[in-house]
Structure 1
Amino acid sequence: MEQQKYSKLFENNKKWVEEKLNIDPQYFENHAKGQSPKYLYIGCADSRLPVNEMTGTSSGELFIHRNVANMVVHTDNNLMSVLQYAVQVLKVEHVVVCGHYGCGGVAAALENKSLGLIDSWLMNIKESYQKNRNFVDSAETKEAKVNRLVESNVKEQVYNLYKTSYVQEGIKSHDLQIHGWVYDLKEGLLKDLEINAEKDFKEMTLYTFN
């Protein structure tokens, strides 16, 4: 039974190829020539987030990086490499950090439990919590508390983006814009948190992670 489930993925792949070629015989040939996305999307690794579907974008329109709880951590060489490539080489016009309500990583960060290797990663979210504790703790329910931290965490990660030389250089060179979003799993809607990090950091001298 498990092997059948696994094999189904390849069957689905073949059907997908056939559907694409029926619409456009040069679809894959054209895609293989290169990419020129206008957006870098930094989101959570949660399996319930169909990024292209929920944004109505096609393959090649989004450059995507995902990790637990959509973090921007300066010691994460994977994320920093993606950011550098997206801004300096692909010249993306927008970078989006997108969290989602009910995030398991955020919920775990609020609990005083040892979860193993992921504990060190969750420390980054706990820092977001400490910075926004009054706002988060004033929520009346546990669900609301998690969702408030989801929003606060997105805000902190947008700030972390602004602290990188890649983003600051991108703003100067091609008017790069940074955004913070939250996705509502229950409604399927995206919410722009309208974070104006550029204004918040207006008086900041060049302060970089990299």
Structure 2
Amino acid sequence: MPTSYNTSVTEGPVVLDRRSGPHGEVVLRRHGDLLQIIANGCFLMDTSDGRSERRLVDAALNALHGRPAPTVLIGGLGVGFSLAHAAQNPRWKRIVVVEREQAVIDWHRAGPLSQVSAEALADPRTEIVHADLVTFVHASEETYDALCLDIDNGPGWTVTEDNEGLYSPAGLEACRERLTPGGVLAVWSAQPSSLFEESLRNAQFQGVRTEEVPVARGVPDVVHLATRAE
């Protein structure tokens, strides 16, 4: 039976859907014209802007220096900005999105978030994988030219404790192994982290750097970038 969404628009937040799963509770909420995703009571993202998600994808593509027909793995579907932006660029040959919450996938395929991602989901280059990203990067044998990861508020501010493994030495090694030689790892964060930069260097990544993404208020968002050796 299809999920019924509360589509009424009010001034205050309105819960459209609430799901409980193996990683806790996820909520899709409408606040005015915005759609918001809340995980275990922690605000993750909304549809207010998307410049950070677009910069994440563009920074990775730019760092590939014109490599023809690159492939990209996007970690986290979120509200769909990263996927939608990648699909707008014909340079990407293949776009794989790994999302662990079935609810988030449902909200895009047949729910309110389809307003962001419907065209991208219909693109034949797009593949959605329902899996935990940490498990996926360890278990997969495929390689990609770029990994664009946005599953937390940053390496030091994870949504669940399970995600901490992604930023550990073993997790970063697994990410490196999922990249082609010269491939790029791009990690979104709500704040810069010199400790994470050092972790990337210790994991044998090259060209480690951080790009700022200006925001309306407060500390800029950032994209951490690193390259696998040729």
TM-score (norm 1): 0.35
With a CA cutoff of 8 Å and minimum separation of 6, indicate the structure with the bigger relative contact order. 1
Which has more helix, going by share of residues?
Answer: 1
Give the TM-score normalised by structure 2: 0.32
Report which of the two has the higher share of strand. 2
